[in-house]
Copies of this chain bind each other. A is one copy, B any other.
Amino acid sequence: MAKTPSGKPKAPSIKDVAALAGVSVPTVSRYLNMPERVSETKRQAIAQAVSKLGYRPNAIARALVREQSSQCLVLSSNTTRYGQTQVIQGVETAARAAGFALSIALIAEPGSTSAQIRESVQSALDHNPAGVVLLNFDEASAQALSMIPRTLPLVSVAGERNTEIAQISMGEREGGYRVTQHLLQRLAERGLGSSPVHYVGIPGGGGAEGRYEGWLQACQEAGVPIPPAVEAGWDVDSARETGRILGRKRGEVKAIFAGNDETAMGVIRGLEDEGLRVPQDVLVAGFDDHPVARIWNPSITTIHQDFQGVGAAAFAMLAPMLEDVSLGRAHGESWQAYQRFEGHLIERESTVNA
């Protein structure tokens, strides 16, 4: 593959396709526009070359009235959960202000095969986005990351730090640590300094793990007993059932850190089902600052995450890369930029001491 002066691989051109297929450039051009006028043999040869080189006819998007692609693509494995929808909204607002339209493509859901994930990523890239923001919150999106060519402007949001790409991390671990410390302090104020903080996690993925690790670290540093972490499903009913189970261990469970706010809501309701009161009998905290957390009764102590800010920052990080490409410049330092968004604790009724 051709290299740019900076040594970065260059996207394959129509000439590369023609050379590999053993046909002329006009034949490839004809194939792209009027395939019925190209012989079956040549069609197959060209299709193979297109596929092998991963050729994308960028020029076409450019030729469409606008001189270059003005589409920013968000890749995400989920578009229904609070965090993801807010990050997408943040990217959208920033992209639109800069004259870019936003499109969102779904990566095949968690549990899909690599081939399904590749198919969905490839299909999205076929549309020649100017740049990509990847919401890297789970295993499927982590796999998708490896399938995006490094010639394309890309910002990964969340996930493990990868120094080869531009990335924004969400400070999940620090948030988990901070909220657990808060619960331990409240327990100590109640004269329950040796009581554990129970963790009710959310399923898989990078964010969930960071929160868990932060909880673990805070418990270890405090030298309190560490009960086994419980995992609730994404649905609020499973969180409620978990709250009931913990509630039945009456007297043993004094503080619970739930992996997100919806889980905290379900846990609180489950504790109430067992006749326990929050915060009088059990302290409960969540994570994310979901809008409903502040009107829940009791309002829920949580880690506020600036999801929309993260989305806006992701687009701002993408912008200099888009410019590098549009001006034909070598990749600048922005291609490995890194930014960290730390959440902050919001204390509410669910962890108040009388």
Contacts and interface: CB of A to CB of B under 8 A. Distances in A.
Interface stretch (A116-124, A132-140, A155-163, A210-218): A116-124
Contacts of A237: 294-295
A60 B33 CA distance: 6
A280 interface: no
Nearest to A81: B85
Interface in A64-95: 64-65, 70-71, 79-80, 85-86, 88-89, 92
Contact of A236 (B32, B62, B291): B291
A17 to B, nearest CB: 10
Nearest to A89: B80
A120 B296 CA distance: 37
Contact of A105 (B62, B80, B102): B102
Interface stretch (A187-195, A265-273, A316-324): A265-273
A33 B61 contact: no
Contact of A60 (B60, B85, B101, B102): B60
Interface in A238-272: 239-240, 262, 265-266, 269, 272
Interface stretch (A23-31, A174-182, A200-208, A337-345): A23-31
Contacts of A71: 123, 126-127
B65 A50 contact: yes
Nearest to A291: B236
A71 B102 CA distance: 16
B79 A57 contact: no
Contacts of A119: 101
A304 to B, nearest CB: 15
Interface residues of A, number: 62
B57 A60 contact: yes
A59 interface: yes
B127 A103 contact: yes
Contact of A31 (B28, B63, B88): B63
A240 B299 CA distance: 13
Contacts of A239: 295
A291 B80 CA distance: 12
A106 interface: yes
B295 A64 contact: no
Contacts of A47: 63, 65
A346 interface: no
A205 to B, nearest CB: 18
Contacts of A269: 295-297
A226 B236 CA distance: 36
A108 B259 CA distance: 34
A292 B88 CA distance: 22
Given A65-B50, A236-B291, A101 B92 contact: no
Contacts of A96: 108
Given A56-B64, A57-B64, A79-B88, 7 more contacts: A29-B32, A34-B59, A35-B62, A50-B63, A50-B64, A262-B292, A265-B295
27 contacts: A14-B33, A29-B32, A29-B34, A31-B63, A33-B57, A33-B59, A33-B60, A35-B59, A35-B63, A47-B65, A61-B126, A71-B126, A79-B85, A79-B89, A80-B86, A85-B85, A92-B106, A101-B106, A101-B119, A103-B103, A103-B105, A103-B106, A103-B124, A104-B105, A235-B291, A265-B292, A269-B295
